[in-house]
Structure formats: structure tokens, C-alpha cells
Amino acid sequence: MIKTSKIAGVDEVGRGCLAGPVFSAAVILNKNINTKDIKDSKKISFKRRIILSKYIKKNSIFAVGSASVEEINKLNILNASLLSMQRALRKLKVIPSMAYIDGPFTPKNVKIKCKAIIKGDEKIKCIAAASIVAKVARDLFMIKLAEKHPEYDWNKNFGYGTAYHLRALIKSGITQHHRKKFAPVHNMLMAAKRETQFS
């Protein structure tokens, strides 16, 4: 694998969702890329993120990693997020000299020096770029998943706990794609268990 002196930015998306995997991206920006419009993905519209993600991928070295709902349930969301970051870094075609990680923690078991930067997606362009690539990858995944489960509106809420999603949970129940240890889902499971015990 080729080594480079360049910096990679790493960010994850989907930590707060009630359904679906957590995704991460690692991005090494090309020297001449125009970074003027690259910023925290949460501050960009869906359509604009799609355009920027294509531009970033065309003008950078990038990789995307994820951790499944099963892994989130088993490891907890923090460790699953770090695992998805680890996978993104390991998939890079070149080894950066440093990886800037958004947030207070860094992934384990990677042969790359990592530095945690709180609110890095607001401060560092390569992290912001990673946030855009990861967000678009996860959103498109959830849109595809919504075709099989249209009742939860995942093509619009992407698995986050919106009022519509919570109502759909009550009405239609919990799927294999829901995170069973997240409070609203866990509470429903516990309520159903108590009802069964006392019925």
C-alpha cells in the first residue's frame, strides 16, 4: 500500500438514529480541490450534498465504512461508530501520515496516527468532506431500505426518531433494522415483554 504525507479527515453519520447502520468516511483531499463550499454536512441541503459528494469523490482519495445494526446492538453506538471509522481508514488506497477524527475519540487498531478534534467538521475541510461523503452514502442506503419498509418514512427521516417514525413504530412495530438498545425502541420491547408476562 502506498504511503502519503497527506492528511485524511474522518467522520461518521447516523449515531443518533433509531434504525439503520452507522456510516463513516475517510477522505484525503487532492491539493487543487476547491473547498469553498465544503462544510459540515448538517448545514447543507440534501440536493447540494449529493452534488458535493460526487465532486469530493472525483477530487480525492476516499473510502466508506459502516457498522451494522447487529454490531450497534452488540458493541454500543460509540464502539460501533469507531469500528465504522476503522473500516473506512483501512479501505483507503493510500496510507495518510495523519487522520483527523471528528469528535473526542479515535478508532482502535489502525496503523495510522489519529488525532481527535471536537467539532472537527466545523473546523477542518477534510473532516467536513468526510461528513458529506458519509452522510450521502448513508442517506442513499436508507432511501433504498425505505422501499422495503415505506411505512417508516426512512426516505425522509433516514432513521432518525421523528414524530412520524415514532408513530409508525407504535403502529407497525419494530423491524430487524431498528436499534433495540435505543430508548424508544428498547422501551417498546420492555412494554411488550411486561404485557406478555402479566397477560
CA distances from 84 to 5, 106, 144 (A): 23, 11, 20
Give the span between the Cα atoms of 18 and 182, in whole angstroms. Answer: 6
Domains of the chain (ranges; CATH) run 2-146 (3.30.420.10)
Q: What is the pLDDT of residue 33?
A: 94
pTM of the model: 0.92
User: Among 90-94, 176-180, 189-193, which stretch is predicted with the lowest mean pLDDT?
Assistant: 189-193
Q: What is the pLDDT of residues 141-183, one digit of tens each?
A: 999 999 999 999 999 999 999 999 999 999 999 999 999 999 8
- All three cell numbers of 11, joined, read 467522520
**What pLDDT shows up at residue 193?**
60
| Sign of the Cα pseudo-torsion (74, 76, 81, 86, in order) | negative
Lowest-pLDDT choice from 42-51, 65-74, 119-128, 182-191: 182-191
Mean of the pLDDT values across residues 61-84?
A: 97
Q: How confident is the model at residue 66 (pLDDT cuts 50, 70, 90)?
A: very high
Asked if pLDDT for residue 198 goes beyond 60, the answer is no
d(CA 149, CA 131): 26
Question: Comparing 48 with 1, which gets the higher pLDDT?
Answer: 48
